[in-house]
Structure 1
Amino acid sequence: MSDSTTPEPESGETARTPVPRGARARERVLRAALGVLVDHGFSGFTMEAVADRARASKATIYRHWSSRADLLVAAVGLVPQPAAPPDTGELRADLIELSTAIEGLLARPSFAGLLAAFIDAAEREATLTRLHAEFSETRREPLRIVLTRARDRGELPDGTDLELAIDLLAAPAFYRRLITHRKFPPGYGVSVVDHVLTAIGYTGPR
């Protein structure tokens, strides 16, 4: 007898493999979900499309995730977390290292495509809007940490607006890659860092 809250398999699903309970099988479905999101956008992100890609039963997927939003929330958990912020003892060097890492991520078509699709999904689904805000905040934190350290060392004025500085440092790379679809020229990140540091009153190491 089937659970009344779980959709019955549609025609053609009977030959698919139920999702085992192991971590490897769960990851297979979640990676399939990310692939569907990148290839088809949120409008094409359906449980059936994920089941097709994962070669799993749609009914079984529904037993693990009750909606496509729940499934996508779980899938985004596979995206690697940012590395620990650098601590060279000098703000400019720390920011250049972080800027290089951001450019490296955005230069990867798989990450850029996923991010663009995720932004679109967050505009359409309240649950994903909150998730995207948390996702973005996590990736702002390394910049916040190195800027705070620099202010405490006296490299920045006490009244520096750190949140605005984060916006100024991070936004150019995302704008260039996701809005204008242009590659990063040599030295781009260093130039951004130097312009922002000048604007916020950077005094150099003491």
Structure 2
Amino acid sequence: MTQQPTSHAPGSRRPGGRTARTRTAVLEATLAELVENGYADTRVDRIATRANIAATTIYRRWGSLENIVVDLADELAVTIGLGESASLEDDLRTVARAVVTLNEDPAHRAWLQAMVSAATRSPSARTALSSVLAHRRDICSVAVRDAIARGEVPAGTDPHEVIRATVAPLYLRMYINGEPVGPADADRAATAATLAARAGLYVLPPGSATGPATPEAPTPEA
């Protein structure tokens, strides 16, 4: 179906043995710190103390708190199957439902609530959150690229804008308004984004650059 990415952010590899236990301990400690203290007050030294791991080990592997947060997001993501459907709407429905499923996971919900709250006050938190969301859009945009190849949507359609249109209403309701969402809300968002894409609303002006390209199609996550 799809291939795994060949490049990894710091700390994002999935090694085994002692290294895997170190990664698990650090990510669990980071999540606990984010939930208890928020991003702005989370410190690598406190993560190290909680995980019973030297701070120098954490810095050597991840380099920064931002990189730990990005790695944590990958750990909390879910793998979804895209690229096998003959319909953009079916693929976008899969993406939207995965977002709803993630919201039902207490760990992911706590992480994202902490990051959204911190991003309104901290530029570094905003950068980390933007990096995570851009990565997720990039790997989900294979659905739009396939739709372009099939002629289902116009050439020049911006894949990132289609994915944004699909998930933004859900994130707004879940993490800003605090409203409940379910599969029906996910399906409605997917249908609306599909109709807009087919109508050409997300076609880039000539000469415009689209979102980050994916050299090899990775396994999509949400």
User: Same fold by TM-score, threshold 0.5 exceeded?
Assistant: yes
Unmatched 5+ stretches in structure 1: 1-20
Instruction: Using the TM superposition, give the Cα deviation of residue 102 of structure 1 relative to its aligned residue in structure 2, in angstroms.
Output: 1.2
The offset of 1:35, in angstroms, is: 1.3
Q: 2:122 aligns with which of 124, 127, 138?
A: 124
Specify the SS of the correspondent of 1:160.
coil
2:31 paired residue number: 34
In structure 1, C-alpha distance between the alignment counterparts of 2:175 and 2:117, rounded to whole Å:
12
Given that 1:33 and 1:72 are in contact with CA atoms closer than 8 Å, whether structure 2 keeps it comes out as no
CA change 1:202–1:150 in 2 (3 A) is: farther
Alpha-carbon distance in structure 1 between the residues aligned to 2:182 and 2:107: 20
Counterpart in the other structure of 2:18: 22
**2:122 counterpart letter in structure 1:** R
Quote the offset at 1:162 in angstroms.
3.2
> What residue number does 1:141 align with?
138
Report 1:81-100 matches (<5 A).
Answer: 83=79, 85-86=81-82, 87-100=84-97
Deviations 1:146-186 (A, max 9, x none): 11111110111224343322221110111011001111145
Q: Number of aligned pairs?
A: 178
**Counterpart position of 2:187:** 190
Runs of 4+ in 1 over 6 A off after TM superposition: none
Using structure 1 for the length normalisation, give the TM-score. 0.71
Aligned counterpart for 2:68 among listed residues 52, 71, 74: 74
Between 1 and 2, higher relative CO (CA 8 Å, sep ≥ 6) is seen in: 2
Q: CA RMSD in A?
A: 3.0
Q: Residues 72, 147 of structure 1: CA spacing in aligned structure 2 closer, same or farther, 3 A cutoff?
A: closer
Structure 2 unaligned segments of length 5 or more: list them.
1-16, 201-222
Q: 1:190 to 1:100 in 2, by over 3 A?
A: same
Q: How far apart are the structure 2 equivalents of 1:143 and 1:33? A: 26
- With over 3 angstroms needed to count, the CA separation of the structure-2 counterparts of 1:30 and 1:141, relative to structure 1, is same
1:74 Cα offset (Å): 2.9
* Distance apart, 1:125 and its partner CA: 4.9
